[in-house]
């Protein structure tokens, strides 16, 4: 009997995974519809990575949703969005270079447009804010695909409202549309996240930016709308020689119940005038005194009971400084500086005369008595008798009582 070695059987496990791809809405897709590409693998325990690629070969933004699969969207589809979309499946348990592609052909019906008649309206918000202060424009709380912000400004002339689109953002395509009216509007940050579909806007309005704002969030082919009626107000002061005018200006008069000025001293009655629709003015006499300086508040009460206010501070005029100039007992420095060269010149002339006369051997004798005149004169005859050696001399005699000499002869 021959014994055979025991054979150990080899087992190969083949994991079968089923890929399901769904295209919504069904082809042909109407213009402006939102194309949804959904891919899922069953069983869900199979580790896979799914990527959607568009007709141009570029990877598309996608999100994994529980009980749904990996979703990619093309909002507001256009004619050039037609073509082949590829679902790439990469099993994580194998080589990263192994991909399983699955093609989906999408066609667009250019003769038909989607109509967004399914609109969910939120409760209209009525509020007011101060000009040039950040204001949060609320949007619906759904996680949307794209968002639009519209503005209907109020026209006092004809009471008509022209709808203007201020902002458009598509989070799937990464497209943003703005215009010249959108300079003061931008998407809000945390706790909102526009890339994840949570929308809100920050707005810094001017006085003329009052009106109705509508934030429309689009999810698939459904619209969620939140409207806000906004009144903008501001306070400003206008000084003049006889008065100080504190004006409170406001818009959207139809939603304003009352407007008033108050002083910090509630018992003090103010002189208030209405300067026209949307303006109320408190007039203060000038100059401002301790009784009129302080805080003045403009308060708006809306029809819904909400109250907003702004405070203007009026300060006392600054005291004028008085400068007293004390006359100096000393001569100006410039005059002293002018005397210095004159004294030096006079001293130089005297020294020159003394040296010149001594070189010629002329003796000068001066005799001054206490009662004699202050001027001292040389004897002309003594000088004439001196020998002439190429030099010259001058005879001087006073011209009068002023002590000024003149030349007699040379």
Q: What percent of the chain has pLDDT over 90?
A: 57
Q: Which of 293, 314, 335 is the last residue of a domain?
A: 314
> Shortest CA distance to 263 belongs to which of 240, 287, 288?
288
Q: What angle do CA 296, 300, 301 make, to 5 degrees?
A: 140
pLDDT at 13: 53
- Give yes or no: residues 29 and 64 share one domain: yes
pLDDT at 90: 84
Q: What percent of the chain has pLDDT over 70?
A: 71
- Neighbour tally for 283: CB within 10 Å: 15
- Give yes or no: residues 105 and 74 share one domain: yes
pLDDT at 91: 79
Residue 326 maps to a domain: no
Residue 255: which domain range?
A: 233-314
pLDDT at 183: 87
Q: Total structural domains in the chain?
A: 3
More confident residue, 76 or 96: 76
Per-residue pLDDT averaged across 234-245, rounded?
92
pLDDT band at 141 (very low <50, low <70, confident <90, very high): very high
- Give yes or no: residues 221 and 297 share one domain: no
pLDDT at 191 over 90: yes
pLDDT digits (tens, 9 = 90+) for 366-385: 333 333 434 444 444 443 44
Residue 382 maps to a domain: no
Of 34-43, 54-63, 366-375, the range with the lowest mean pLDDT is: 366-375
- Across all residues in the chain, what is the average pLDDT? 79
Residue 258 maps to a domain: yes
pLDDT digits (tens, 9 = 90+) for 328-345: 333 444 444 444 444 444
Residue 7 maps to a domain: no
Q: Residue written as tokens 């005397």?
A: 339
- If you compute the radius of gyration of the chain from its CA atoms, what whole number of angstroms results? 51
Residue 323 maps to a domain: no
d(CA 24, CA 222): 14
- Give yes or no: residues 216 and 301 share one domain: no
pLDDT digits (tens, 9 = 90+) for 321-330: 333 333 333 3
Residue 153 maps to a domain: yes
pLDDT at 351: 45
pLDDT at 396: 44
Per-residue pLDDT averaged across 132-138, rounded?
95
| Contact criterion met (CB below 8 Å) for 234 and 298 | no
d(CA 81, CA 58): 13
d(CA 257, CA 307): 10
Tokens of 134: 């950040």
> Shortest CA distance to 151 belongs to which of 189, 178, 176?
178
Q: Which of 185, 207, 231 is the last residue of a domain?
A: 231
Phi, psi (degrees; rounded to nearest 5) at 405: -95, 155
Q: Which of 113, 133, 163 is the last residue of a domain?
A: 113
Q: What is the CATH number of the domain that holds 284?
A: 2.60.40.10
- Give yes or no: residues 176 and 154 share one domain: yes
More confident residue, 399 or 308: 308
d(CA 314, CA 293): 5
- Give yes or no: residues 225 and 244 share one domain: no
Tokens of 360: 């010629």
| Contact criterion met (CB below 8 Å) for 381 and 368 | no
- Give yes or no: residues 98 and 156 share one domain: no
- Give yes or no: residues 124 and 175 share one domain: yes
Phi, psi (degrees; rounded to nearest 5) at 77: -60, 140
- Give yes or no: residues 125 and 140 share one domain: yes
More confident residue, 406 or 123: 123
pLDDT band at 95 (very low <50, low <70, confident <90, very high): low
pLDDT at 180: 85
| Contact criterion met (CB below 8 Å) for 182 and 238 | no
| Contact criterion met (CB below 8 Å) for 274 and 319 | no
For 304, residues 6+ apart whose C-beta sits below 8 A from its C-beta are 126, 255
Tokens of 115: 């109509």
pLDDT at 360: 44
- Give yes or no: residues 126 and 227 share one domain: yes
Tokens of 103: 């093609």
pLDDT at 197: 96
- Give yes or no: residues 182 and 197 share one domain: yes
Residue 186 maps to a domain: yes
pLDDT at 317: 86
pLDDT at 43 over 60: yes
- Give yes or no: residues 219 and 142 share one domain: yes
d(CA 385, CA 116): 136
């Amino acid at each position: 009997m021959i014994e055979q070695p025991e054979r150990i059987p080899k087992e190969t496990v083949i994991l079968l995974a089923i890929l399901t791809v769904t295209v919504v809405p069904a082809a042909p897709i109407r213009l402006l519809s939102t194309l949804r590409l959904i891919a899922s693998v069953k069983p869900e325990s199979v580790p896979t990575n799914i990527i959607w690629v568009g007709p141009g070969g570029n990877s598309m933004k996608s999100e994994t949703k529980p009980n749904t699969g990996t979703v990619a969207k093309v909002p507001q589809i256009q004619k050039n969005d037609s073509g082949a979309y590829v679902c790439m499946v990469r099993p994580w348990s194998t080589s990263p270079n192994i991909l399983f592609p699955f093609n989906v052909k999408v066609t667009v019906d250019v003769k038909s447009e989607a109509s967004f008649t399914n609109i969910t309206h939120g409760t209209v918000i009525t509020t007011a804010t101060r000009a040039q202060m950040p204001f949060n424009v609320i949007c619906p709380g759904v996680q949307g695909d794209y968002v639009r912000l519209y503005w209907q400004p109020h026209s006092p002339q004809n009471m008509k409202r022209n709808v203007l689109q201020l902002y458009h953002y598509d989070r799937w395509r990464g497209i943003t549309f703005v215009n010249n009216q959108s300079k003061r509007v931008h998407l809000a940050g945390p706790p909102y996240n526009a890339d994840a579909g949570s929308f809100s806007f920050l707005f810094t309005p001017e006085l003329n930016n009052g009106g109705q704002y509508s934030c429309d969030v689009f999810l698939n082919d459904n619209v969620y709308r939140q409207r806000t009626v906004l009144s903008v107000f501001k306070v400003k002061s206008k000084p003049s020689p006889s008065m100080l005018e504190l004006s409170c200006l406001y818009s959207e008069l139809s939603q304003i119940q009352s407007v008033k000025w108050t002083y910090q001293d509630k018992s003090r009655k103010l002189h208030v005038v209405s300067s026209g629709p949307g303006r109320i003015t408190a007039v203060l006499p000038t100059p401002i005194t301790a009784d009129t300086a302080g805080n003045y508040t403009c308060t708006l009460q809306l029809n819904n009971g909400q109250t907003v206010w702004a405070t203007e501070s009026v300060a006392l005029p600054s005291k004028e400084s008085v400068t007293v100039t004390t006359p100096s007992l000393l001569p100006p420095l410039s005059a002293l500086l002018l005397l210095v060269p004159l004294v030096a010149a006079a001293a130089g002339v005297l020294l020159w005369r003394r040296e010149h006369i001594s070189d010629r051997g002329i003796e000068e004798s001066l005799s001054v008595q206490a009662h004699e005149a202050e001027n001292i004169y040389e004897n002309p005859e003594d000088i004439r008798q001196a020998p002439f050696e190429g030099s010259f001399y001058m005879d001087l005699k006073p011209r009068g009582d002023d002590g000024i000499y003149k030349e007699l002869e040379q």
